[in-house]
Amino acid sequence: MTVTQRPASSAIQVTRSSEQPSHRRPNVSSVDDSDLLPRAWEFLDLCHREIPDQLGGLRRRWAEVRREVAETGTYRHTRAELVFGARAAWRNSVRCVGRIRWPTLVVRDARGVTGARQVYRELVRHLRFATNGGRIRSTITIFAPDDWLGPRVRIWNEQLVRYAGWRERDGGVLGDPRYAGFTEQALRRGWRPPDPRGRFDLLPWIIETAGDEPRAYAVPRRAVLEVPLRHPEFAWFADLGLRWHAVPVISNMRLHIGGIDYSAAPFNGFYLGDEIASRNLSDADRYDQVKAVARGMGLTLGSDRTLWRDRAVVEINRAVLHSFDVAGVTMADHHSEAKHFMRFADREETAGRCPYADWSWINSHVVPPQAPTFHRLWPNVEVQPNFWLDDTARALARGEDTGTTLRQFRASVSVRPGC
Ligand code: ARG
């Protein structure tokens, strides 16, 4: 993917805010007047500096937004604001090393979608569009914004494509242990699981809306591209039976733009090989494959000082990169990505903005000192627009119940704003 557009030069920085938007209450979000107008102003001002030709005059737009807020308690982003807001949210994501591509994000406007069935259909479309036969497109689909009663659409899954974790009698887990809780929740919400159960069973989506109780929706197999993993030299590697999905679509983070919350706004870039190899497949509480690979390589597992772990993890990384390349699926490697990040940071500075970054996330790959990003430190500040992971969203992704569904919550509230 190439960068098609550079941000307009500007000497102004996004207003810093160390404080996250108010989202502590389980079901109610930040659309309240005390917060909304200042945040809307900050955002419009930013748009005015970066996309002036698409804003149509700051004064006029500001007057319009104030009027809309006075009349309805909220305001609606124009298409241009929504697109820019989502891209800026990516640009501001301190943990993401792939941010050089922020101007290429494809924004799918699904704000009119509020029913669970329709949400489901849009998610399938998102997957197909983003996957694009392997030439992955960075994409976000933005569903109806929250209103004064909180989210109107919520996807419980952490990502659109994940694998089930089946708890077994002996205490072990078949599949991805990270999702053992979610797997049980999906069964409670009506999922009919595959038979027999395996290590890579696609989890269904749990979708709830203001009008629909949470329910599990099976993901169509054909919408999901997966890559079987093999190694460029070790033929036995294929016998481990490992695979991974092509597109990481984060589906439970809240997009916050100019005082408006979009609780359902699934987005994806493409994978960095290391995320799959060094973490998903290697972490002891995930697929835990390091020992199996080390054994396959004929290494002695006794002493840490032989670096058998390191050697095995490097080979898993090679297998992942190789397999995605052979399958023609877009994937980054950590060396080129670190260089891209340096270029991104340079561009931000040239544009008069401070590049912010969470060093520990930017450098969490094999042999970090080999990457230029290891030797630099950027301020770690979260500015808006941005993506946030709420406590409720985190709990739902683990398979916990929140007690009250969106629908029940709404039914329990009888007052209206202004009453
Ligand atoms: N680390 C996550 C995973 O392994 C994906 C996070 C997003 N990554 C990305 N390249 N956009 O699935």
Kindly report, residue by residue over 290-299, the tens digit of the pLDDT.
Answer: 999 999 999 9
**Mean per-residue pLDDT, 139-160:** 98
Does 194 fall in a domain? yes
**Cα 351–352–354 angle (5° rounding)?**
105
**Mean per-residue pLDDT, 147-166:** 97
pLDDT band of residue 342 (cuts 50, 70, 90) is very high
Distance 71 CA to ligand 1 centre (A): 41
**CA 292 to each of CA 37, 44, 70, 240, 269: distance values in angstroms, whole numbers, following the listed order:** 56, 54, 62, 8, 30
Between 4 and 399, residue with greater pLDDT? 399
Q: How far is CA 300 from the centre of its chain?
A: 38
Q: How far is CA 416 from the centre of its chain?
A: 33
Does 14 fall in a domain? no
Distance 247 CA to ligand 1 centre (A): 8
pLDDT of 337 over the 50 cut:
yes
* CA-based nearest residue to 402, from 141, 251, 206: 206
Does 105 fall in a domain? yes
Q: Is the CB of 337 under 6 A from ligand 1?
A: no
Distance 332 CA to ligand 1 centre (A): 11
Does 382 fall in a domain? no
Token pair, residue 164, equals 């089930």
| Domain with 81 in it | 33-355+389-399
Q: Is the CB of 382 under 6 A from ligand 1?
A: no
**The 153-155 sheet, strands edge to edge:** 153-155, 205-209, 215-217
Model confidence, pTM: 0.92
Does 414 fall in a domain? no
Between 28 and 353, residue with greater pLDDT? 353
pLDDT band of residue 402 (cuts 50, 70, 90) is confident
Residues whose CB is less than 8 angstroms from the CB of residue 112 and which lie 6 or more positions away in sequence, other chains included: 144
Does 253 fall in a domain? yes
Token pair, residue 325, equals 């390349």
CA atoms within 13 A on the CB side of 200: 15
Q: For the chain, how many structural domains are there in total? A: 1
Distance 414 CA to ligand 1 centre (A): 41
pLDDT of 29 over the 50 cut:
no
Q: One-letter amino acid identity for 146?
A: D
Q: Is the CB of 266 under 6 A from ligand 1?
A: no
**Mean per-residue pLDDT, 313-337:** 98
Q: What is the predicted pLDDT for the residue at 352?
A: 97
Does 23 fall in a domain? no
In this structure, the residue with its CA closest to atom 12 of ligand 1 is 248
Q: Is the CB of 275 under 6 A from ligand 1?
A: yes
pLDDT band of residue 82 (cuts 50, 70, 90) is very high
Does 413 fall in a domain? no
Q: How far is CA 318 from the centre of its chain?
A: 25
Q: What is the predicted pLDDT for the residue at 390?
A: 96
pLDDT band of residue 418 (cuts 50, 70, 90) is low
Report the CATH number that the domain containing residue 105 is assigned in CATH: 3.90.340.10
Q: What is the mean pLDDT of the chain?
A: 92
**Mean per-residue pLDDT, 132-138:** 98
pLDDT band of residue 2 (cuts 50, 70, 90) is very low
Burial tier of 193 (Cβ tally within 10 Å: 0-12, 13-18, 19+) = middle
